[in-house]
Chains A and B, each alone.
Chain A
């Protein structure tokens, strides 16, 4: 056992750092460090740079065009990028639908969709949740009826993050209403430009627009866009959710959050609260490393990664809470211009004050999305503890 980095890993970390400094736009970096919202270009320009270098899909195996990195390299990559203020890689293509396609898709689908994901020329979004199907995802009702070589899709998806930026959406749809809920679901890829697809914004409590309703009204989707077998979509869905939960712990950005907290506060009792969250981050990081190291010895991510998601989301919330606590009453002024646009108004109070409360409000989402904390605990209780 050893935590030390080998020389080749040190060189690797330097290479990533040099790349980030050369390729990440200063404006984007500044948004990360000051807690402002990104626009589509912030993500796309950066992801395309990574794509060119072959690093965007850094978790993919070599044979699908990934770099085939070991656990240590992935760890370094994520950490160095977070330290350098890079936006997190939007997971919908590289971490969600990509692995589903290379695991369950046919060769044509791989050829057709994987390059666009690797290079970030196509932006994806996730169409799972519906108004009546949140935690109880298997209850979804968006229907896809076979009509010759097409499916005709009708229904509504909701909470779709970045659907307003999306070129494509991957959807869970119901193809059989007779069978058990889990058995009549299929995994379908839909071009957002298809007639009948409408996107309506949902404004979040902090004023941000990140999620949407997506209405599907007689949308014609070629049967060739079905991934895996008809009615076998639940398998893809669950595979994807397990992958999703691993990345969602967000340790590197929480580490950045801890340094941010130390830079804005020097009150001793705050310092102890920061120390406490710092230690929680370290515990989470070690747990994640232990899980990754077990995976490196040939395991798939098991249900215990659910606990990483639970803790990871609590930590993100705690950091946002402490940042607001540090700002005190100066968290009150609401300055949307400074959050969402490149405005040059001056902040009321210190520079870090305007995003503090909105971030705190916004971060409440982390224990809800990607399978709520309660659902994760149900999963661990059943799958790990056998209760």
Chain B
């Protein structure tokens, strides 16, 4: 056991830093640094740069075109990207459907879909949830009926993150309504340009548009787009969910968040002194930092176990729970630091990138919307209640 990096690892870290500094577009970096919202193009430019270098799919094994990073390299890569204010990598292609395709897909599917995911030329979104099927995902009802060499898909998906930017969607659909709920589900890849697909925005509490409803009205999908066997989609679904939860802990982002919070607390005044010198506030930051450290070391332990040949087990649910709570706490304390200057709501500046001046410092108007928005982290990716249910059943045997 050793916490120190080897000389090779240190060299790798330098390479990553040099690469990020040379390739991350300055305007994107500024947006991330200032907590602004990114557009589709902002993500794409950065991801394509990573793709060229072969690092976008940094979690993939070599044989599918990944760089085959060791856990230490993964850790270094994620942390340096975060430190350098790179945007988070959108997971739908790289961390979700990609691994499903290389694990369960046919050779043709691998050849057809993986390159575009590696290079980020195609934007994917996730079509799991439905209005009646949130936590109870297996109750989903979007139907796919086989007709010749096509499936005809009818139904609706909801909470599609960035579905309005997506080229393709991967869906769980019901192909057999007679058997047990989990046994009649299939995993289908659908081109968003197919006739019969309509995307309708859902506006979030902070006024932003990031999720959508997606309606399917007699959408014809080639049978070749089925991943795995018909009616065995639940296996892919659960495989993917476990992968999803690993990234969701977002430790490097949280570390960055704590630093940003400290910067704000150095600027904000409290009785003529920087807020960071207020003992109760400083203690709250310290408490948060300790939580982040505990989470980081837990994640390192899990990664190290996986490096010795394990799949992510149900205990990663614990990472998701703590990770999401920490993300929320950072936004809560940031809002506390900003105080009453959180109140002004400037939707133009926030959403349309207008050049109106902020009220107070730039970071102030972002604080409350972020706090409101981040309530989502304990809900999506399997709510924290569901994660605890999983741990209780799978780990504790209750």
Contact = CB atoms under 8 A, between A and B. Distances in A.
Q: CB atoms of A and B under 8 A apart anywhere in the complex? A: yes
A148 interface: no
A268 interface: yes
Interface residues of B, number: 3
Interface residues of A, number: 3
A268 B280 CA distance: 10
Interface in B266-280: 279-280
B165 to A, nearest CB: 40
B263 interface: no
Nearest to A269: B279
A272 B279 CA distance: 12
Interface string A70-98: 00000000000000000000000000000
Interface string B170-206: 0000000000000000000000000000000000000
Contacts of B280: 269, 272
Interface string B318-359: 000000000000000000000000000000000000000000
A269 B287 CA distance: 15
Contacts of B279: 268-269
A209 to B, nearest CB: 35
Contacts of A269: 279-280, 283
A267 to B, nearest CB: 11
A380 to B, nearest CB: 19
Contacts of A272: 280
Contacts of A268: 279
Interface in A241-276: 268-269, 272
A268 B283 CA distance: 13
Nearest to B283: A269
A181 to B, nearest CB: 25
Nearest to A272: B280
Interface in A195-219: none
A269 B280 CA distance: 8
Nearest to B279: A269
A272 B283 CA distance: 13
B282 to A, nearest CB: 11
A272 B280 CA distance: 9
A268 B279 CA distance: 10
Contacts of B283: 269
A203 to B, nearest CB: 31
Interface string B230-265: 000000000000000000000000000000000000
B148 to A, nearest CB: 50
A249 B228 CA distance: 60
User: Nearest 5 pairs between A and B by C-beta?
Assistant: A269-B279, A272-B280, A269-B280, A269-B283, A268-B279
5 contacts: A268-B279, A269-B279, A269-B280, A269-B283, A272-B280
Interface of A: 268-269, 272
